[in-house]
Amino acid sequence: MPLRRRRRLLVIAAATVLVLLGAAVALASRGVLWPNRAFAARYEVRGIDVSAHQGEVDWPTVARQGVDFAYVKATEGSSFVDARFEDNVREARAAGLLVGAYHFFSFESSGEAQAEHVLETVPDEEGLLPVAVDVEHYGAFQAHPPDVATVRAELTALLETLRAHGEEPVVYATQAAYERYVAGAFPGTPIWIRSVYVPPSMSDARAWTFWQYSAKERLDGFDGDEPFVDMNVFRGDADELRALASQP
Protein backbone atom coordinates (compact mmCIF):
# COMPACT_ATOMS: atom_id res chain seq x y z
CA MET A 1 0.00 0.00 0.00
CA PRO A 2 1.43 3.42 -0.93
CA LEU A 3 2.64 5.48 2.03
CA ARG A 4 0.36 8.41 1.15
CA ARG A 5 -2.74 6.20 1.12
CA ARG A 6 -1.72 4.55 4.39
CA ARG A 7 -1.35 7.93 6.05
CA ARG A 8 -4.74 9.03 4.76
CA LEU A 9 -6.40 5.90 6.13
CA LEU A 10 -4.74 6.44 9.51
CA VAL A 11 -5.98 10.03 9.60
CA ILE A 12 -9.52 8.89 8.72
CA ALA A 13 -9.41 6.16 11.39
CA ALA A 14 -8.15 8.60 14.04
CA ALA A 15 -10.82 11.14 13.13
CA THR A 16 -13.51 8.46 13.32
CA VAL A 17 -12.36 7.38 16.77
CA LEU A 18 -12.40 10.99 17.99
CA VAL A 19 -15.90 11.52 16.62
CA LEU A 20 -17.16 8.34 18.31
CA LEU A 21 -15.50 9.30 21.60
CA GLY A 22 -17.01 12.75 21.41
CA ALA A 23 -20.44 11.31 20.74
CA ALA A 24 -20.07 8.88 23.67
CA VAL A 25 -19.03 11.69 26.02
CA ALA A 26 -21.96 13.83 24.87
CA LEU A 27 -24.44 10.98 25.40
CA ALA A 28 -22.97 10.20 28.82
CA SER A 29 -23.20 13.85 29.88
CA ARG A 30 -26.94 13.73 29.15
CA GLY A 31 -27.42 10.42 30.91
CA VAL A 32 -28.34 8.61 27.68
CA LEU A 33 -25.32 6.33 27.65
CA TRP A 34 -23.69 5.15 30.87
CA PRO A 35 -20.83 2.62 30.84
CA ASN A 36 -21.73 0.84 34.09
CA ARG A 37 -25.32 -0.04 33.27
CA ALA A 38 -24.39 -3.33 31.64
CA PHE A 39 -22.24 -4.36 34.62
CA ALA A 40 -24.89 -3.37 37.17
CA ALA A 41 -27.67 -5.24 35.32
CA ARG A 42 -26.67 -8.51 36.96
CA TYR A 43 -27.90 -7.24 40.35
CA GLU A 44 -31.66 -7.46 40.83
CA VAL A 45 -32.19 -4.96 43.67
CA ARG A 46 -31.91 -1.32 42.59
CA GLY A 47 -32.15 1.91 44.51
CA ILE A 48 -31.65 5.66 44.37
CA ASP A 49 -30.23 8.27 46.72
CA VAL A 50 -31.70 11.74 46.83
CA SER A 51 -31.60 15.05 48.65
CA ALA A 52 -33.51 18.33 48.44
CA HIS A 53 -31.68 19.00 45.15
CA GLN A 54 -34.09 16.58 43.46
CA GLY A 55 -36.99 18.70 44.65
CA GLU A 56 -40.40 17.24 45.48
CA VAL A 57 -40.36 13.56 44.55
CA ASP A 58 -43.36 11.68 43.21
CA TRP A 59 -42.49 8.47 45.04
CA PRO A 60 -45.24 6.23 43.59
CA THR A 61 -43.97 7.14 40.11
CA VAL A 62 -40.40 6.37 41.15
CA ALA A 63 -41.44 3.03 42.63
CA ARG A 64 -43.07 1.99 39.35
CA GLN A 65 -39.72 2.31 37.55
CA GLY A 66 -38.05 -0.72 39.10
CA VAL A 67 -36.71 1.08 42.17
CA ASP A 68 -36.67 -1.07 45.31
CA PHE A 69 -34.99 1.17 47.90
CA ALA A 70 -34.03 4.76 48.53
CA TYR A 71 -31.46 6.49 50.70
CA VAL A 72 -32.48 10.05 51.47
CA LYS A 73 -30.25 12.76 52.85
CA ALA A 74 -30.92 13.54 56.49
CA THR A 75 -28.04 15.52 57.91
CA GLU A 76 -24.66 17.09 57.27
CA GLY A 77 -22.01 17.99 59.82
CA SER A 78 -23.29 18.81 63.29
CA SER A 79 -26.26 21.06 62.52
CA PHE A 80 -27.60 20.90 58.93
CA VAL A 81 -30.84 19.03 58.19
CA ASP A 82 -31.99 18.42 54.62
CA ALA A 83 -35.22 20.30 53.93
CA ARG A 84 -36.91 17.32 52.28
CA PHE A 85 -35.79 14.63 54.72
CA GLU A 86 -38.99 13.99 56.68
CA ASP A 87 -41.22 14.21 53.61
CA ASN A 88 -38.97 11.90 51.60
CA VAL A 89 -38.85 9.24 54.32
CA ARG A 90 -42.60 9.28 54.90
CA GLU A 91 -43.61 9.35 51.23
CA ALA A 92 -41.03 6.82 50.01
CA ARG A 93 -42.10 4.34 52.66
CA ALA A 94 -45.76 4.90 51.79
CA ALA A 95 -44.88 4.06 48.17
CA GLY A 96 -43.56 0.68 49.31
CA LEU A 97 -39.82 1.34 49.12
CA LEU A 98 -37.27 0.28 51.69
CA VAL A 99 -35.81 3.54 52.98
CA GLY A 100 -32.68 4.63 54.80
CA ALA A 101 -31.18 7.96 55.83
CA TYR A 102 -27.70 9.19 54.98
CA HIS A 103 -25.45 11.64 56.76
CA PHE A 104 -22.82 13.72 54.94
CA PHE A 105 -19.64 13.48 56.99
CA SER A 106 -17.93 16.81 57.69
CA PHE A 107 -14.19 17.21 58.16
CA GLU A 108 -14.96 20.31 60.23
CA SER A 109 -17.02 18.86 63.09
CA SER A 110 -16.24 16.25 65.69
CA GLY A 111 -17.46 12.74 65.01
CA GLU A 112 -19.32 12.57 68.30
CA ALA A 113 -21.19 15.83 67.62
CA GLN A 114 -22.15 14.58 64.16
CA ALA A 115 -23.42 11.30 65.57
CA GLU A 116 -25.57 13.11 68.15
CA HIS A 117 -27.00 15.24 65.34
CA VAL A 118 -27.89 12.10 63.37
CA LEU A 119 -29.52 10.48 66.38
CA GLU A 120 -31.58 13.62 67.07
CA THR A 121 -32.79 13.79 63.46
CA VAL A 122 -33.26 10.26 62.14
CA PRO A 123 -36.30 8.54 63.70
CA ASP A 124 -35.78 5.30 65.58
CA GLU A 125 -38.38 3.38 63.60
CA GLU A 126 -38.78 -0.26 62.67
CA GLY A 127 -38.02 -1.11 59.05
CA LEU A 128 -35.55 1.64 58.19
CA LEU A 129 -32.32 0.65 56.47
CA PRO A 130 -29.10 1.36 58.40
CA VAL A 131 -27.92 4.96 58.50
CA ALA A 132 -25.25 5.56 55.87
CA VAL A 133 -22.31 7.87 56.55
CA ASP A 134 -21.16 9.61 53.35
CA VAL A 135 -17.38 10.14 53.29
CA GLU A 136 -16.01 12.11 50.36
CA HIS A 137 -13.75 15.04 49.61
CA TYR A 138 -15.57 18.34 49.16
CA GLY A 139 -14.75 22.00 48.59
CA ALA A 140 -11.15 22.95 49.34
CA PHE A 141 -10.57 19.46 50.77
CA GLN A 142 -10.59 18.03 47.26
CA ALA A 143 -7.24 19.65 46.56
CA HIS A 144 -6.02 19.45 50.16
CA PRO A 145 -7.40 16.27 51.78
CA PRO A 146 -7.37 16.16 55.58
CA ASP A 147 -4.93 14.02 57.52
CA VAL A 148 -5.78 10.31 57.45
CA ALA A 149 -5.30 9.69 61.17
CA THR A 150 -7.47 12.64 62.13
CA VAL A 151 -10.31 11.68 59.80
CA ARG A 152 -10.24 8.05 60.88
CA ALA A 153 -10.37 9.07 64.54
CA GLU A 154 -13.43 11.28 64.04
CA LEU A 155 -15.12 8.77 61.77
CA THR A 156 -14.50 6.07 64.36
CA ALA A 157 -16.06 8.28 67.03
CA LEU A 158 -19.12 8.84 64.84
CA LEU A 159 -19.59 5.14 64.04
CA GLU A 160 -19.04 4.01 67.62
CA THR A 161 -21.49 6.57 69.00
CA LEU A 162 -24.14 5.36 66.54
CA ARG A 163 -23.45 1.75 67.52
CA ALA A 164 -23.73 2.62 71.20
CA HIS A 165 -27.31 3.70 70.46
CA GLY A 166 -28.12 0.47 68.60
CA GLU A 167 -27.49 1.72 65.07
CA GLU A 168 -25.12 -0.35 62.90
CA PRO A 169 -24.14 2.11 60.15
CA VAL A 170 -23.06 1.74 56.54
CA VAL A 171 -20.08 3.71 55.21
CA TYR A 172 -20.50 5.29 51.78
CA ALA A 173 -17.32 6.47 50.08
CA THR A 174 -16.04 7.62 46.74
CA GLN A 175 -13.15 5.56 45.41
CA ALA A 176 -10.67 8.28 46.41
CA ALA A 177 -12.06 8.65 49.92
CA TYR A 178 -12.25 4.89 50.34
CA GLU A 179 -8.61 4.38 49.47
CA ARG A 180 -7.47 7.25 51.68
CA TYR A 181 -9.62 6.80 54.78
CA VAL A 182 -11.49 3.49 54.75
CA ALA A 183 -9.34 0.81 53.10
CA GLY A 184 -8.05 -1.66 55.67
CA ALA A 185 -10.10 -0.07 58.48
CA PHE A 186 -13.56 -0.36 60.05
CA PRO A 187 -13.83 -4.17 59.79
CA GLY A 188 -17.37 -5.50 59.70
CA THR A 189 -18.88 -2.20 58.57
CA PRO A 190 -20.94 -2.59 55.36
CA ILE A 191 -19.51 -0.57 52.47
CA TRP A 192 -21.40 1.47 49.92
CA ILE A 193 -18.91 2.35 47.19
CA ARG A 194 -19.24 4.99 44.49
CA SER A 195 -17.71 3.98 41.16
CA VAL A 196 -19.64 5.49 38.29
CA TYR A 197 -17.48 4.74 35.25
CA VAL A 198 -16.18 1.23 35.88
CA PRO A 199 -17.08 -1.54 38.35
CA PRO A 200 -15.56 -0.92 41.80
CA SER A 201 -12.21 -2.35 42.77
CA MET A 202 -10.95 -1.85 46.32
CA SER A 203 -7.27 -2.22 47.16
CA ASP A 204 -8.06 -4.25 50.29
CA ALA A 205 -10.22 -6.69 48.28
CA ARG A 206 -13.20 -5.94 50.48
CA ALA A 207 -16.67 -6.85 49.24
CA TRP A 208 -19.13 -3.99 48.86
CA THR A 209 -22.75 -4.15 50.05
CA PHE A 210 -24.10 -1.27 47.95
CA TRP A 211 -22.65 0.08 44.71
CA GLN A 212 -23.47 3.52 43.29
CA TYR A 213 -22.94 2.82 39.62
CA SER A 214 -24.42 5.91 37.97
CA ALA A 215 -24.69 9.61 38.72
CA LYS A 216 -26.60 10.47 35.55
CA GLU A 217 -29.83 8.50 35.63
CA ARG A 218 -33.03 10.08 34.38
CA LEU A 219 -36.24 8.90 36.01
CA ASP A 220 -39.74 10.31 36.03
CA GLY A 221 -41.01 11.81 39.26
CA PHE A 222 -38.53 14.61 40.05
CA ASP A 223 -39.04 18.37 39.75
CA GLY A 224 -35.87 19.81 41.33
CA ASP A 225 -32.96 21.78 39.92
CA GLU A 226 -30.92 18.58 39.60
CA PRO A 227 -32.11 16.68 36.49
CA PHE A 228 -30.25 13.48 37.33
CA VAL A 229 -30.46 10.96 40.15
CA ASP A 230 -27.84 8.53 41.47
CA MET A 231 -28.51 4.84 40.88
CA ASN A 232 -27.34 2.02 43.11
CA VAL A 233 -27.54 -1.74 43.39
CA PHE A 234 -27.52 -4.02 46.41
CA ARG A 235 -25.39 -7.16 46.49
CA GLY A 236 -28.11 -9.60 47.43
CA ASP A 237 -31.82 -10.20 47.00
CA ALA A 238 -34.81 -8.31 48.35
CA ASP A 239 -35.12 -10.53 51.42
CA GLU A 240 -31.48 -9.90 52.33
CA LEU A 241 -32.03 -6.16 51.99
CA ARG A 242 -35.09 -6.30 54.22
CA ALA A 243 -33.00 -8.16 56.77
CA LEU A 244 -30.74 -5.09 57.01
CA ALA A 245 -33.66 -2.90 58.04
CA SER A 246 -33.57 -1.66 61.61
CA GLN A 247 -35.53 -3.39 64.35
CA PRO A 248 -37.56 -1.70 67.11
- Among residues 125, 51, 46, the alpha carbon closest in space to that of 87 is found at 51
- The DSSP letter of residue 222 is B
Helix axes 148-164, 111-121, angle to 10 degrees: 40
The β-bridge partners of 103 are 75, 133
Q: Which residues, 6 or more positions from 30, have their beta carbon under 8 angstroms from its beta carbon?
A: 216
Active-site residue, selected from the candidate residues 49, 91, 134, 230: 49
**Helix, strand or coil, per DSSP, at residue 105:** coil
Annotated catalytic residue 168: no
Active-site residue, selected from the candidate residues 86, 116, 136, 179: 136
* Cα–Cα distance list, 59 to 3, 32, 150 (Å): 62, 22, 39
Q: How many whole angstroms separate alpha carbon 19 and alpha carbon 22?
A: 5
Annotated catalytic residue 136: yes
Active site residues: 49, 136
